Structure 1
Amino acid sequence: MRAEKHNKKKRKGLKIFGILILLLVLGFGAYAFSIYRSLSDAVDTMHEPIDRKTRNIAFNNKEPFSVLMLGVDEREGDKGRSDTMIVMTVNPEKNSVKMLSIPRDTRTEIVGRGTQDKINHAYAFGGVEMSMDTVENFLDIPIDYYMKVNMEGFKDIVDALGGITVNNTIDFTQDGHHFPVGEISLDGDQALSYVRMRKEDPQGDFGRQNRQRQIIQGVMEKGVSFGSITKFDDVFVALGDNVKTNITFDEMKDIQKHYKSAASNIDQMKIEGSGTSIGGIYYYAVPETEKQRVQTELKTHLGK
């Protein structure tokens, strides 16, 4: 009887964990399950409201919504910058998720400062709120939620999952770790080095973005398989310490209930541009026609 009750709780936790997978995707969102109350406590620790007006999404009506994922390097005495910026739009009617990585050097208006600068500087200037406002203005779509991941601590999440597997397309060495071409297994330290390499990649920041997506998907796949994971407490601690979001636990449950099938169909988008130097500073310049193309695709997916 006790074993049956424990298994029931575990299955419930696994179901809730699907929410986090959909969102972190988060990927970068969440990867935990096990006992329901423990998961609820972890999500409560992750929950961090913001001072910003957002839409009220009717999840029971399966309304499309968007999430901005920020990968932030936070060091002592330094607020840090959002070196990873990924926008996800989720549409359950289309049964799909669109995932756009925004190059960190993209030149755009920083909303709230009235200046043109690199888009990832918005976080350093005004935190999550200014990042959401700036991305919302750049893409001309509503940004409903955010999920912020401390990249230094992301390795703890990977380790708590027992490592992940990715398919590497370029041979390189970073931070003393060698990454050969092909399917490779990564622990937390290796995963962090894997996503940080940029200079040796002929695709530059786009190659780095692709590796970021690989890590996210690797986490998702490992999370879904959870058969080999036993240290649930480690996963909860890693999440609570390193992930913050304005998504509540109740909202996550609603998303799991009405949106979970969309996570199986992820469309990775790319925004084209070119490097340019202004005042001796490197920027990634996106032509207006390209920006409009991406805006239209995302608006259509959100039903706008």
Structure 2
Amino acid sequence: MDRARGRRGARAARLQSRRRQRQQRYGRFIGFTALGSLIPGVGLIAAGKRRLGTFLLVMLGFVAAAALMAVVLIPNTRLLSYGGDRQMLLLLGAGLVAAALVWLVVALISHRLLEPDGLPPGKRLGGALVVVMATSLVVAPMSVGANNAFTQRDLIGAISGGASLTTPEIADNKDPWADIPTLNLLLLGSDAGDGREGARPDTLIVASIDTHTGDTTTISLPRNLMGFPFPEESPLSAIYPQGWLKPAGEDDLEYMLNATFRNLPALHPEAFEGSEKRGADATKWAVEGALGIDIDYFMMVNLDGFSAIVDALGGVTMDVPRDIPIGNKELPGGGCTTPRGYVHAGDNQHLDGTQALWFARSRCGADDYDRMARQQCVISAMVDKIEPTRLLTQYQSLAAATKDMVETDVPEELFPALIELMITVQSGTLESLTLDRSFFGSMGTTSANPDYEQLHARIAEYLEPSDPDEATDPDDASDTDTSRATGEDSESDDASADPQADDGAENSVDGSLDSPSATETAPDDTGDNPAGEGETEDELPDDEPVETDAIC
């Protein structure tokens, strides 16, 4: 009996030892499976494949060292600029896909080699789950990176380039700003949409960027500017030697600055032969003639896209000087309908895309010039919000909002340099000039009948680089910029206000940056409101115009 008990005890001890060994083997299997999934080669070495495992570890170390050297030695702006190189994006996306596949295959092979024989189904499933979870920590970010790289490549191809008659010749794409100390970009807000024939860009802003420092000056032009000349190099100069003057009896609205995009290519298609950006070329020539400066490239944003882009950035934060109505429009005979809501006044207000759009576009109870100043506020807030980390986390939604809503004549090979410049802009200064009533009044003119020689001189003076040796107190500089932006350096009265400042277009959600003013005469703009709803040529209530120096 004692012997039988001894045999049973020995058998139990052996079984317990085997269980401990199996548990140890399973624990070792799980541990090396997880480690081999995170670090290719470790699992193979543990499974006895030392040469292959060591080779993979050496290659991984080499790639990691190269990446670290690139981050340390290459400036961040240059690294980010590679996001504009379509060839580099293709290589990056393909490389990440290949690396993810290799990583996954190595993890699966390591798991299979390390798996002990005779594991029950439950433990085998546990091992597989460990592989999936550990590998996803590496493969998932690679997949996101590859997807973003391919999306960025498609985005650049979708919005860029196209034959243009107005883009500068670039001798060296690696240093495109060598001969362009100041880059002038024309930013357009398009009203294209359902129920509208063609596009009429009612938002026109020139961003003049110092290509060395990133210091930027924005100039907001009134859409109702008239009688402007064209630069000598433009074929339109020979057609309109005295400028684009309105013939007697014609509608003013068809000869304003914002009408050039649609009307000039239709009137003179021979002047735009070979161009794929006819409307933009016409508008660039018009702005060049009006301001007396060269316009290098344009970028046009459909207003629905503007709202989506702001949402993709996570909204913007700005000071709202007063309640801004949302969704109202002009009534026949004057006044405005009841808005469906407001962008409420307050400091550091966080606005979503719809609120930011109405802050920029609303004109009921104000005027075009007040709206122009608010648009510059939104641009400044968006520049402040653009950060590399946010772009990475929100990239897919931002790209989706941009692809079908943005158009430009910047060639795709220039995007790396342009992205690098935009990063520099964030560290530079930003000044604003609004060509409003006070600005034209200080010259004794209106936007409907400016003195363009005097306007050219004023713009040249404003854009002249400041003397770096002249130190200026920041508070004083701010005051000076505000005065220049609103034209308050000279006296002006309501008699000099432009009677053509409004077109009376309906202020609707999916329309343009149009909202009829409650302070000016509104000629009938059937182009902006095909249905003609709510339009009137009667003078609207003579409210006091909002002072633009109170904006943000």
TM-score (norm 2): 0.45
Residue 360 of structure 2 corresponds to 195
Change (3 A) 1:44 1:297: farther
Contact kept, 8 Å, 2:315 with 2:352, in 1: the verdict is: yes
Q: Equivalents in 1 of 2:390, 2:421: separation in Å?
A: 25
Residue 123 of structure 1 corresponds to 261
Q: Equivalents in 1 of 2:190, 2:454: separation in Å?
A: 27
Summarize the alignment of residues 1-304 of structure 1 with structure 2, pairs less than 5 Å apart: 15-16=80-81, 35-57=148-170, 59=176, 61=178, 63=180, 64-76=182-194, 77-93=196-212, 95-109=214-228, 111=230, 112=236, 114=240, 115-116=244-245, 117-125=255-263, 126=265, 127-175=279-327, 176-182=340-346, 183-201=348-366, 204-224=367-387, 226-227=389-390, 230-257=393-420, 260-263=423-426, 264-271=428-435, 272-273=439-440, 284-288=448-452, 290-297=454-461, 300=464
Q: CA deviation at 1:54?
A: 3.0
Q: Equivalents in 2 of 1:258, 1:189: separation in Å?
A: 29
1:86-123, CA deviations, whole angstroms, 9 ceiling, x for partnerless residues? Answer: 11222234542121010111113375473322111111
1:242-275, CA deviations, whole angstroms, 9 ceiling, x for partnerless residues? Answer: 111111333121234467434421221233225x
**What is the count of residue pairs matched by the alignment?**
277
- Structure 1 gaps of 5+ residues are 20-33, 275-281
Q: Secondary structure at the match of 1:107?
A: coil
Q: Equivalents in 2 of 1:17, 1:168: separation in Å?
A: 37
Share of identical aligned residues, percent?
22
Q: Equivalents in 1 of 2:324, 2:222: separation in Å?
A: 21
Compare the two structures and name the one with the higher strand fraction: 1
Q: CA deviation at 1:222?
A: 1.8
Change (3 A) 1:86 1:228: closer
Q: CA deviation at 1:73?
A: 0.7
Q: Equivalents in 1 of 2:359, 2:229: separation in Å?
A: 29
Q: Equivalents in 2 of 1:47, 1:41: separation in Å?
A: 10
Change (3 A) 1:159 1:14: farther
Q: Equivalents in 2 of 1:258, 1:70: separation in Å?
A: 20
Q: Equivalents in 2 of 1:80, 1:269: separation in Å?
A: 25
- Residue 258 of structure 2 aligns to which amino acid in structure 1? N
Contact kept, 8 Å, 2:207 with 2:219, in 1: the verdict is: yes
TM-score (norm 1): 0.78
Q: Secondary structure at the match of 1:233?
A: helix
Q: CA deviation at 1:229?
A: 6.8
Change (3 A) 1:62 1:109: closer
- Structure 2 gaps of 5+ residues are 1-38, 40-59, 85-144, 231-235, 246-254, 266-278, 328-339, 466-552
CA RMSD in angstroms comes to 3.4
Compare the two structures and name the one with the higher helix fraction: 2
Q: Secondary structure at the match of 1:109?
A: coil
Q: Equivalents in 2 of 1:270, 1:290: separation in Å?
A: 16
Higher relative contact order (CA 8 A, sep 6+): 1
Contact kept, 8 Å, 1:84 with 1:104, in 2: the verdict is: yes
